[in-house]
Structure formats: structure tokens, C-alpha cells
Amino acid sequence: MILKSQVEWALHCCAILSGLPDERYLSTKALAELHGLPKEYLSKALQSLSQAGLVLSTLGPSGGYRLAKPPGEMTFLDIVEAVEGGGRTFICNNIRANNPCRPQGYCESGPCAIARIMWEADEAWRAKLRSVTLADLVDTLAQDIPADIWSGTFEWVLNRAG
């Protein structure tokens, strides 16, 4: 399974937005500059987050985006599904019905073992993403990223937040 690049972008943007003080917004331009991404393409990912109710947006000179709810209430799965949709990652087309060795009129009811295994794997993947919040991510990043880079990044962000 390969997710759209916009999933990575959305996760990184939400991580940055989780550090914004209340009532502050960060522009698409600033988020694009911070991540070295084309603003036009990043806008699509941010619009998906907005349509899913995960971020709030405002227009004007101090406009931009902010999280719509606290980081502890937003999961990786929320963000992934905002960009990719919530459908299953495996679609069973029941190709076993094409087997020329099947007796005439033989009908199998229920999904095959392959579909069941794939759906179980999909649910395990979703359960993991559902178990990790943006607050968890921020805690991990604070440990992984050197303190000077961490604080410098948020100083940069705050200088550009409206």
C-alpha cells in the first residue's frame, strides 16, 4: 500500500499546528516554506483536513490554519482518512469465481481467506494509527529532535503565525 504524499504533508503540518498558541493561525505559505513544499499542492492537503473538521481556517493577512481540537483528541487515523478516505485498502473482486476447476453451479458464500486476512491486516493498521494522537507525536518529537532545532523551529513558526 502506498499512501499519497499529502498524508505525510498533512501529518507534518498538524504536528506544527499543534504547537500554535490559542487563536493563532499559520499560513499555507509558511507551512510550505517550512517543509519545502509547493504551496499549491500543500493547499489540497490542508483543504482535506479542513473539510474533515480537523483544522480551522481563516482568511486575511493573519489568516491560515490551526487545529480544530486539542492534539490529544486527534489521531493519526483521523489525518490519514481525511486525506485518503476511510475505505478499505484491499478490495476483493472474488476472482476465485473464475476458477475453471469449480463444478458448475458451485457457489461459495462469504469472503475468501485472502480477503479475510487482508481485512484483518487493514484493521490492525488502522487500530495502530487510531492509538497514536498528535500529542503522542509531539512528545516523541520533543525527545527525538535536538533542543536547539526544536525551539528554533517553533520560534520560526511563531514569528510567522497570525
For residue 162, the model assigns a pLDDT of: 86
User: CA-CA distance, 83 to 144, in Å (whole number)?
Assistant: 26
Q: In this predicted model, what pLDDT tens digit does every residue of 59-76 receive, in sequence order?
A: 887 789 999 999 999 999
pLDDT, mean of each 10-residue run, the chain (162 residues): 89 96 94 95 95 94 91 97 91 84 80 93 96 96 94 94 90
Q: Which amino acid is at 118?
A: M
For residue 98, the model assigns a pLDDT of: 82
pTM score of the predicted model:
0.87
For residue 18, the model assigns a pLDDT of: 95
Taking alpha carbons only, the member of 75, 64, 58, 49 closest to residue 158 is 64
For residue 82, the model assigns a pLDDT of: 97
Taking alpha carbons only, the member of 22, 52, 51 closest to residue 162 is 22
